[in-house]
Amino acid sequence: MASELSTRGAAALLAGVVFAWGTNWPVTKMIVHDVSPLWATALRCMIAAATLAPMLWAQGTFIVPKRGDLPVVFCTSILHLVAFSALVAAGLQFVPAGRAIVLGYTTPLWVAIGAAMFLSEQITRRRAIGIGCGLAGLAIIFNPQTLNWDDRNALFGSGLILLAAFCWAGNIVYVRAHKWISTPFQLVFWQVLLAAALLATIAWFVEGTLHIAWTWRLAALMLYSGIICTAFANWAMTMVNRSLPAVTTSLCLLATPLFGIVSATAILNEPLEPSLFLAMALIIGGIALGSVAGGSLRAKAA
């Protein structure tokens, strides 16, 4: 793999990651309008695996995972690529993309709590304030004045997204404790390939045989989600993490949910709710405090 990038090159790649991950939420919402959630996620992983294999081969970094890395391959594949992605896709059927983004990006808050419980990482005063701010933002989202508690679909969808955040947080905590043999990017192909197989199997039993009315629009959305939002974003984050300080990367990635809300408004014509921005400000502020106080939460997730 190439050596470190220039600061300008790394910043450009980081901007590309923010764009890819931010737009992936409204893109996924459009996809699940035409494809069932499990099959949509399975197809995305298949496309990503088909893209990652030649990328790794061309760089001379294609490997077979060593035994010591198998636990992290299984953990990331099951908790992040299968559970998180499928739950988000399912939740987006009932929840606006903007609200889903805010709920999904509470993940670092649960990472801080989980790391304190299982990795003996100290919760400093600043990090505790950050967690409190994030929880206050979450309370705004679930406030009866901003969320109709009589709407069971909205509650169910929000619960799925929040459960997805818990799964992602659990994966991040494990990843932080794992003793790496190969690099994370070298293992991404195997994680995505395993996720594709698991998701396709589960989808076959739960949702039945795949039936899709293909259109050029749907094909373009699937390719964008698999190639740009998954394969490219993982490669780019590996390069960025080699070239920029972890805290810098973590703080810059906080622009992702904000860009996601803006893109959801532009692409899906979702209304800009003031309460959503207030919740987002509290959650992002809390994550920023935790990142500065205890190092990168989001960058380590990548």
Q: Residue 292: its pLDDT value, please?
A: 66
**Mean pLDDT over each residue of the chain, to the nearest integer:** 89
Give me the pLDDT at residue 51, please.
96
Q: How confident is the model at residue 298 (pLDDT cuts 50, 70, 90)?
A: very low
Q: What is the pLDDT of residues 32-46, one digit of tens each?
A: 999 999 999 999 999
Predicted local confidence at residue 137, as pLDDT: 92
pTM: 0.89
Of the listed ranges 71-80, 87-96, 181-190, 213-222, the least confidently predicted one is 181-190
Residues 167 and 80: beta-carbon distance below 8 Å: yes
**For the residues 104-119, what does the mean pLDDT come to?**
90
For the cut 70, the answer to whether the pLDDT of residue 299 exceeds it is no
How large is the average pLDDT for residues 46-59? 94
Question: What is the arithmetic mean of pLDDT over 25-35?
Answer: 96
User: What tens digit of pLDDT does each residue of 266-282 get?
Assistant: 999 998 888 888 998 99
